[in-house]
Amino acid sequence: MSSVYPEIYLVRHGETEWSLSGRHTGRTDIPLTAKGEEAARAVADRLKGLTFQAIWSSPSQRAFDTCRLAGFGERAVKKPDLQEWDYGAYEGVTTKEILSRRPGWQLFRDGCPQGETAADVGARADAIVAELRAVAGNVLIFSSSHFLRVFAARWVGLPPQGGEHFVLDTASLSILGYEHDLTEPVIRRWNQK
């Protein structure tokens, strides 16, 4: 399912202790688990034979290590706008714990106290989309779940809150692109392992 138009390959970082336990990991810089490192190395096989005009990574250790272990670290450019959602007061806290204190809370609707809202993350995603539109060729991006979900929503013209409808597993691969021409952005593949 290749395209004559540029494609944007998205890789969510490999497993960490916090992703495994469901703790919100925004700006806390924690390493991959051994399983996360193994999954990151396996990304290389899934991208074998592809060429990329640009390779971008979140500056987080978990994203950049996934990039490096997949074999793309030497060419990667770290971009601060690719950082995960800033969870503020909810950093390191599980959704279950948040809901016990704040029933009905939804990340994409309510955001995080002392952290970002979906609109804040959407503004960063929009900046990346604008940069991508200027690249003539395929781009490979390594980042984190909630940011990539908002990014995908913005790519196809949905509001940032639309990211709530796209779930991503660790070390998953997704592809954004175009359908008939460069005015029709689409999600070509999503959350593939």
Active site residues: 13, 84
Question: DSSP letters along 105-120, please?
Answer: --HHHH--TTS--HHH
CA-based nearest residue to 56, from 9, 97, 21: 9
| Distance between CA atoms of residues 31 and 77, nearest Å | 19
* The two three-digit tokens of residue 22, written as one number: 């469901």
Helix (H, G, I), strand (E, B) or coil at 15: coil
- What's the token pair of residue 15? 């497993």
CA dist 5 and 166 (Å) reads 23
